[in-house]
Amino acid sequence: MTLSPATRALLLPGLLTVLALIVLIGLGTWQLVRLADKEQQTIRIEASLSAPPVALPAETEWATLKPADYDYRRVSLTGRFQHDKEALAFGFISVGVRGDTREGFFALTPFVLPDGSTIIVNRGFVPQELRDQNTRADGLVQGTVTLTGLMRVPEKKGSFTPDDEPAKNLFFTIDPLSIARARHIERVAPFIVDADQSGPKGQWPEGGHTVVALVNNHLQYAITWFALALGLMGVFFVFATNRINQAR
């Protein structure tokens, strides 16, 4: 069977179009799968936020924990703070009804469990003028305490995030392992616990400032990939029609 010149001219563009369609449809389908996963994760997180606190995972489980399974899990833990190894992470909170912000720090304090392992606990917000612990001595809880909070995934350093300054005890990324290295802490959990608001109003650090951000853009991404696939099909149809008409 002999192919016409117009048909032969369309073979390579047609093959490339098919390959591109496979990629685009595959990406769209993958986004739909991620959409379903994110919806299930959102349901789990919303249920966890309103559920009673559960026991903290044992140290033997830490290596196998998956962030999607524990992020925002409400937990209860008992231990004692190591205030002399507190780290400060630069941050801000929303204040007032207009959404104004107040700059300061989040106090990240090692919390030693009865078995000797350590959790970095984000005790909450500290205003800039109270950076020095001596200015907030009433908030340095001593002895064995039980607290509740949310397990959080460590932050990743962004492209525009400043480098941490361990020598100044100043961090810009809340990463428990980086803090542990800087403050010489061993057996540290690979996650953070954001403490609930537990102390009286006006006592610092002030907990309960966790921002629950459940971003789910997978449907928009899927629509974009499928739209590109549909557009590609339209472009190839016009291209092929023109080639065939020119060959007549």
Residue 117, in any domain of the structure: yes
Residue 10, in any domain of the structure: yes
Q: What is the pLDDT of residue 96?
A: 63
Residue 48, in any domain of the structure: no
Residue 132, in any domain of the structure: yes
Cβ atoms within 10 Å of 43's Cβ, excluding its own? 10
Q: What is the pLDDT of residues 31-63, one digit of tens each?
A: 999 888 888 877 777 777 788 999 999 999 999
Q: How many domains does the chain have?
A: 2
Please state, in angstroms and as integers, the Cα–Cα distance from residue 25 to each residue in 21, 34, 181, 239, following that order.
6, 14, 45, 21
Element (H, E) at 225: helix 218-247
Q: What is the pLDDT of residue 220?
A: 93
Per DSSP, 190 falls in state E
Q: Checking DSSP bridges between strand 87-95 and strand 100-112, what pairing results, if any?
A: antiparallel
Q: For residue 139, give the nearest of 219, 223, 195 by alpha carbon.
A: 195
What are the mean pLDDT values of the chain's consecutive 10-residue runs (248 residues total)? 68 89 94 87 78 92 90 94 95 72 91 96 93 90 94 91 92 94 94 85 81 82 94 90 77
Residue 207, in any domain of the structure: no
Q: What is the pLDDT of residues 58-97, one digit of tens each?
A: 999 999 999 888 999 999 999 999 999 999 999 888 776 6
Are residues 187 and 85 part of one domain?
yes
Cβ atoms within 10 Å of 226's Cβ, excluding its own? 17
Residue 206, in any domain of the structure: no
Q: What is the pLDDT of residue 101?
A: 78
Residue 229, in any domain of the structure: yes
What domain range includes position 159? 73-195
Read off the tokens for 104: 């300061």
Please state, in angstroms and as integers, the Cα–Cα distance from residue 232 to each residue in 218, 226, 235, following that order.
21, 10, 5
CA gyration radius, the chain = 27
